[in-house]
Amino acid sequence: MRTKIVAGNWKMNNDLSASINLISEIKNSSIGKNFKTKIILCPPFTSLETANALLKGTKISLGAQNMYYEENGAYTGEISAKMLKSVGCEFVIIGHSERRTIFEESDEIINLKLKAALKNNLKPIFCIGETLEEREKDKTFDVIRRQVIDGLKDLSESEIQNIIFAYEPVWAIGTGKNATPYQAQEVHKFIRDLLQKEYSTYLSDNIIIQYGGSVKPDNASELMAQPDIDGALVGGACLRSDSFIKIVESAE
């Protein structure tokens, strides 16, 4: 049986003081102790080292929101996988829709980032999803297929086993809209079937696929009850401890 994983992507929110407060509230709550659900917090870069110290001794893991694919060099403003490892990160979000749309990251760039993360023993949360225009033109499955195939190019099945997938329809990110449980399940099953076809039944059966896109306490239970949805990548609702805690509780 696959483990449920709930990750909180704080995006460009919370200075160091706010990060300390939020982490303290989460780790001192019921979900900071004996929950079966895997919890990952992804604060901004400026809070990672402090977050790592605060999470010591808990079952909550630390992730970053992005990274560059080169190990070092003249890349002003970028952060490498090795740097993330040095401050305690176990996970890193790769290919978030905001990186794809606002910063125009291509499937090729995302593929390089996935390879760099895996090389440095960081577990990627690999985001895929279609825009509203693509869905309305019935291109959802074509887009998902391309993003999966191109994103995983030249990766072995054993490497892919260390990746968490996250389906996040772009039209549901920060809009208040979310895919219905049926819509989300349909795409999750498509991803699982695609992995079975391209790799193996074992990989398809065991890969973790989260849903992301306006996940809130009032829709989390129904979404995560779907057979192919293995948790959530939470955006705005993770910035308040009470709502994030309720979402994690919904995964149990």
Residues classed as catalytic: 96, 168
Q: Which residues of 98-116 are buried (b: 16+ CB within 10 A; e: fewer)?
A: bbbeeeebebebbbbbbbb
Render the burial of 36-50: b for 16+ CB within 10 Å, e for the rest.
ebbbbbbbbeebbeb
Measured distance CA(144)–CA(164) in Å, rounded = 15
Q: φ and ψ at 164, to 5 degrees?
A: -100, 130
Residues near 56 by Cβ (< 8 Å), separated by ≥ 6?
none
State whether residue 94 is helix, strand or coil: strand
**Of residues 249, 138, 134, 152, the one with CA closest to residue 199:** 152
To which H or E segment does residue 105 belong?
A: none
Nearest CA-CA partner of 61 in 135, 164, 188? 164
